[in-house]
């Protein structure tokens, strides 16, 4: 996963977090895609948020106040939407489209799906500084409150659903003074075996992830990687802080940090540097891996056994074995991609296939790199518009490429067969596409588009491997797309003061829009006294 920080460095937290998202059964926009595009693009790159929404200015047609509703999250059957104003969370059964609400704390705002359970979500109540765990059993949702006690705006949830960490991503806080370090992590044991605890980590964390098994958590901060031991008898503690630079007190500059799922190794890429640094998080030993030019992108596979570094100047891809690279820094495989400009890589789940591309120039091609054969093989796929970002289906059968600066069109995307050498299909859009999600079965993809006028509010349902596409116009600006695996429906959340979401049946393509979540939940049918 690639995250661009507001203070100037890129961060990649690898396998553990990707695995955690993947465990959500493909129910969120990020769960099944491997979104890339931040490494070379400007900070305003609309795809850097993966499956969630862009941040365009408020738009007509509906004269509306700021929406009360936050971006939704999806679990197996439900889509959950928080309403900070009402103090309630609306949950929509994506199968029946029934809308209900449940009371949360004061100012429920930030939601996260809780993996490992069929339908559960946790919401951060920003005014009461607590969290409510919402769990659906037989269609009935119950809530459980947890004290948070810290300023937070972001969730990290372990893959087994036991741990939830609320933390503050400073990039979501405008004009925060430097004296605000946002260093608190509120650690919640959702099984309630350990009481909630607040721990201080390094200055301004930009990512929080868990190790496989959830025994450790890692907070990547400006001071290094803070390692939190979750398995101690006395409860979670900050076990250590591992510097990731030989000169940690200097400005760290722009960098990507990836942590292996085991939590034993971190890989660091710095802009303009030919070195990739491997940091042993147990021993704090750092190892420099010198490549043949400045590394423009580094991606760690979700399995943690392989990392791929891209050197654009030399059109080289370095395939680094993990964790062996930390002790044998000169032993890796180099693949030259002659005649191509490649600066970024997107690895599919499993790490056996990667897509190489560049969005630093108007490159109208992507290169499919198969890492299983020895030596690795590659082929280049011709596209018909410059590449902005690449999203790979988890099974690496197809990719969806968002295009940038499309001459004569508002936007476009391409469906690219990856597993077979078939031509890509380009689809012109009415507005710039901004969000992508793949279905669990890898046979559908949903793309959101958002323009400046109502004509540009839409979503596209792509059928794979047929590469057919249907457009669904929307009544209001979309903010996020996703899929609800249990209901076989895609959803497109939209900006609306009373909440609006459109569901698209993945089989039939029929769409239904629900508007007014609180209203739908306030229908009284006499079934309750």
Partner 1 sequence: MSARTALAALLLATFALGACGDRPDVWDTRADGVRAVGLHSSIALVDDAAHRVLVASPVSGVALARRSVPIGKGVATALPSADRRRLFVLCSGDVPRKKADDQGPSLTIVEDGGAASRRIELQTPLSGLAIDPAGRWVVIYPAGNGRTFVENPNQLVLVDLAAAPEKAVTFRTLRSFGGRPQRLTFTRELALPGGPRHLLVVETEQDLTLLDLDHVQDAIPRPEITVRLTNGLSARAPRPAGVVVDDGEPGKNDDARIAVQLANDSNVFILTLAPNPPGPAGPNDFTPQVNLADVGGPATDLAFVRTDGGLRLAAIVPSARKAVLIEPGTSITTDVPLPEAYARVSLVTDQVAPGAPGGVGEVALLYGGGSSVAFWSLGRTSGQPYRSVEVVNVAGGAAEITSVPPPNQALKVLASPGATGFYVLDLKTRTAAPLTTQRSARIAVSPDGRRLWAFAPGTENLAHIPVSDLAPLPLPLDRPIREVFDVQRGDGGRALLALDARGATGLTLLDAERPDVRAGASFFGLLLEGL
Task: Please tell me whether residue 59 binds partner 1 under the rule CB under 8 A.
Answer: no
Q: Which is nearer to partner 1, 167 or 472 (CB)?
A: 472
In angstroms, the CA 513 to CA 524 distance is: 21
Choice from 7, 56, 59, 98 touching partner 1 (CB under 8 A): 98
User: Is beta strand 425-429 parallel, antiparallel or unpaired with respect to 344-347?
Assistant: unpaired
Stretch 481-510 residues interacting with partner 1 (CB under 8 A): 496, 498, 500, 502, 510
Taking a C-beta distance cutoff of 8 angstroms, is the pair 260, 281 a contact?
no
Task: Please tell me whether residue 527 binds partner 1 under the rule CB under 8 A.
Answer: yes
Binding mask 125-144 toward partner 1 (x if CB under 8 A, else -) reads -------------xx-----
In angstroms, the CA 277 to CA 244 distance is: 8
Q: Which is nearer to partner 1, 336 or 512 (CB)?
A: 512
Q: Which is nearer to partner 1, 43 or 61 (CB)?
A: 61
Task: Please tell me whether residue 511 binds partner 1 under the rule CB under 8 A.
Answer: yes
Q: Which long-range contacts (CB under 8 A, 24 or more apart) does 279-286 make?
A: 279/225, 279/242, 279/244, 280/326, 281/218, 281/225, 281/227, 281/242, 284/240, 284/242, 284/243, 285/326, 286/244, 286/246
Contact region for partner 1 (CB under 8 A) — 129-137, 267-275, 328-336, 473-481? 473-481
User: Is beta strand 184-189 parallel, antiparallel or unpaired with respect to 197-200?
Assistant: antiparallel
Assigned token pair, 333: 């495989």
Instruction: Report, in Å, the least distance between residue 519 CB and partner 1.
Output: 5
Residues that contact partner 1, how many (by CB under 8 A): 39
For residue 16, the 8-state DSSP code is: H
Contact region for partner 1 (CB under 8 A) — 112-120, 418-426, 433-441, 517-525? 517-525
Instruction: Report, in Å, the least distance between residue 476 CB and partner 1.
Output: 8
Q: Which is nearer to partner 1, 251 or 455 (CB)?
A: 455
Taking a C-beta distance cutoff of 8 angstroms, is the pair 344, 359 a contact?
yes
The residue to which tokens 């005014």 are assigned: 127
Q: Which is nearer to partner 1, 292 or 510 (CB)?
A: 510
Task: Please tell me whether residue 520 binds partner 1 under the rule CB under 8 A.
Answer: yes
Choice from 249, 407, 421, 523 touching partner 1 (CB under 8 A): 523
Instruction: Report, in Å, the least distance between residue 512 CB and partner 1.
Output: 6
Taking a C-beta distance cutoff of 8 angstroms, is the pair 118, 161 a contact?
no
Choice from 186, 474, 480, 493 touching partner 1 (CB under 8 A): 474
Contact region for partner 1 (CB under 8 A) — 117-125, 212-220, 394-402, 520-528? 520-528
In angstroms, the CA 160 to CA 114 distance is: 8
What torsion do the CA atoms of 98, 99, 104, 106 make, to the nearest 10 degrees? 170
Choice from 7, 56, 59, 62 touching partner 1 (CB under 8 A): 62
Count of beta carbons in the 10 Å neighbourhood of residue 177: 6
Instruction: Report, in Å, the least distance between residue 60 CB and partner 1.
Output: 9
Q: Which long-range contacts (CB under 8 A, 24 or more apart) does 397-403 make?
A: 397/442, 397/464, 397/465, 398/442, 398/445, 398/464, 398/465, 399/346, 399/355, 399/366, 400/33, 400/436, 400/438, 400/445, 400/447, 400/462, 401/357, 401/366, 402/37, 402/47, 402/433, 402/436
Q: Tell me the torsion sign for CA atoms 60, 62, 66, 72.
A: negative
268: nearest Cα among 293, 237, 298:
298
Binding mask 223-262 toward partner 1 (x if CB under 8 A, else -) reads ----------------------------------------
Task: Please tell me whether residue 515 binds partner 1 under the rule CB under 8 A.
Answer: yes
265: nearest Cα among 249, 251, 250, 283:
283
The residue to which tokens 């949903």 are assigned: 446
Start-to-end CA distance of the chain, whole Å, equals 49
Task: Please tell me whether residue 93 binds partner 1 under the rule CB under 8 A.
Answer: yes
Bridge partners, 434 (sequence order): none
Binding mask 181-220 toward partner 1 (x if CB under 8 A, else -) reads ----------------------------------------
Assigned token pair, 193: 């075996």
Task: Please tell me whether residue 61 binds partner 1 under the rule CB under 8 A.
Answer: yes
Choice from 153, 475, 505, 509 touching partner 1 (CB under 8 A): 475
Task: Please tell me whether residue 85 binds partner 1 under the rule CB under 8 A.
Answer: yes
Task: Please tell me whether residue 516 binds partner 1 under the rule CB under 8 A.
Answer: yes
In angstroms, the CA 305 to CA 358 distance is: 25
Task: Please tell me whether residue 58 binds partner 1 under the rule CB under 8 A.
Answer: no
Choice from 6, 7, 64, 241 touching partner 1 (CB under 8 A): 64
Q: Tell me the torsion sign for CA atoms 514, 520, 526, 529.
A: positive
Task: Please tell me whether residue 304 binds partner 1 under the rule CB under 8 A.
Answer: no
Q: Which is nearer to partner 1, 86 or 125 (CB)?
A: 86
Instruction: Report, in Å, the least distance between residue 485 CB and partner 1.
Output: 18
Choice from 56, 97, 198, 238 touching partner 1 (CB under 8 A): 97
Instruction: Report, in Å, the least distance between residue 130 CB and partner 1.
Output: 21
Task: Please tell me whether residue 66 binds partner 1 under the rule CB under 8 A.
Answer: no
In angstroms, the CA 32 to CA 35 distance is: 9
SS3 411: strand
Contact region for partner 1 (CB under 8 A) — 63-71, 258-266, 411-419, 421-429? 63-71
Taking a C-beta distance cutoff of 8 angstroms, is the pair 269, 262 a contact?
no
Task: Please tell me whether residue 96 binds partner 1 under the rule CB under 8 A.
Answer: yes
Q: Which is nearer to partner 1, 28 or 502 (CB)?
A: 502
Footprint on this chain of partner 1 (rule: CB under 8 A): 61-64, 68, 85-86, 93, 95-99, 138-139, 472-475, 496, 498, 500, 502, 510-516, 518-520, 522-527
């Amino acid at each position: 996963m690639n995250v661009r920080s507001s203070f100037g460095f890129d961060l990649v937290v690898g396998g553990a977090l990707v695995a955690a998202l993947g465990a959500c059964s493909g129910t969120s926009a990020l769960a099944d895609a491997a979104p890339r595009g931040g490494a070379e693009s400007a900070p305003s790159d609309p795809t850097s948020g993966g499956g969630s929404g862009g941040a365009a200015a408020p738009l007509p047609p509906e004269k509306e106040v700021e929406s009360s509703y936050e971006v939704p999250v999806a679990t197996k059957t439900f889509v959950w939407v928080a309403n900070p104003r009402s103090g309630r969370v609306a949950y929509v059964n994506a199968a029946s489209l029934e809308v209900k609400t449940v009371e949360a704390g004061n100012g429920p705002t930030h939601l996260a799906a809780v993996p490992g359970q069929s339908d559960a979500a946790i919401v951060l109540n920003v005014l009461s500084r607590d969290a409510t765990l919402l769990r659906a059993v037989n269609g009935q949702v119950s809530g459980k409150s947890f004290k948070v006690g810290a300023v937070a705006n972001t969730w990290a949830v372990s893959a087994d659903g036991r741990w939830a960490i609320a933390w503050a991503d400073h990039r979501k806080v405008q004009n925060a003074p430097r004296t605000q370090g946002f260093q608190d992590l509120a650690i919640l044991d959702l099984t309630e075996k350990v009481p909630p605890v607040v721990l201080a980590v390094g200055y301004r964390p930009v990512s929080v992830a868990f190790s496989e098994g959830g025994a450790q958590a890692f907070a990547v901060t400006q001071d290094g990687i803070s390692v939190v031991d979750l398995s101690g008898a006395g409860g979670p503690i900050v076990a250590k802080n591992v510097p990731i630079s030989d000169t940690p007190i200097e400005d760290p500059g722009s960098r990507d940090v990836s942590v292996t799922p085991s939590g034993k190794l971190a890989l660091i890429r710095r802009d303009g540097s030919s070195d990739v640094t491997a940091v042993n998080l147990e021993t704090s030993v750092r190892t420099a891996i010198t490549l043949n030019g400045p590394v423009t992108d580094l991606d760690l596979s979700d399995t943690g056994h392989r990392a791929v570094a891209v050197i654009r100047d030399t059109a080289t891809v370095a395939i680094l074995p993990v964790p062996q690279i930390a002790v044998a820094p000169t032993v890796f495989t180099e693949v030259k991609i002659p005649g191509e400009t490649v600066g970024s890589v997107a690895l599919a789940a499993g790490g056996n296939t990667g897509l190489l591309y560049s969005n630093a120039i108007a490159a109208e091609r992507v290169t499919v790199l198969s890492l299983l054969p020895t030596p690795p093989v590659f082929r280049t796929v011709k596209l018909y518009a410059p590449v902005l970002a690449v999203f790979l289906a988890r099974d690496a059968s197809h990719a969806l490429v968002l295009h940038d600066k499309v001459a004569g069109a508002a936007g476009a995307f391409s469906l690219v067969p990856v597993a077979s050498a078939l031509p890509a299909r380009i689809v012109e859009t009415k507005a710039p596409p901004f969000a992508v999600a793949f279905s669990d079965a890898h046979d559908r993809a949903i793309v959101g588009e958002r323009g400046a006028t109502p004509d540009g509010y839409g979503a596209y349902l792509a059928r794979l491997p047929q590469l057919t596409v249907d457009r669904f116009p929307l009544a209001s600006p979309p903010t996020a797309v996703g899929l609800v695996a249990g209901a076989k429906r895609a959803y497109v959340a939209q900006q609306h003061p009373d909440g609006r979401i459109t569901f698209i049946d993945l089989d039939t393509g029929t769409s239904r829009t629900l508007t007014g979540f609180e209203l739908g939940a306030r229908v009284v049918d006499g079934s309750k006294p």
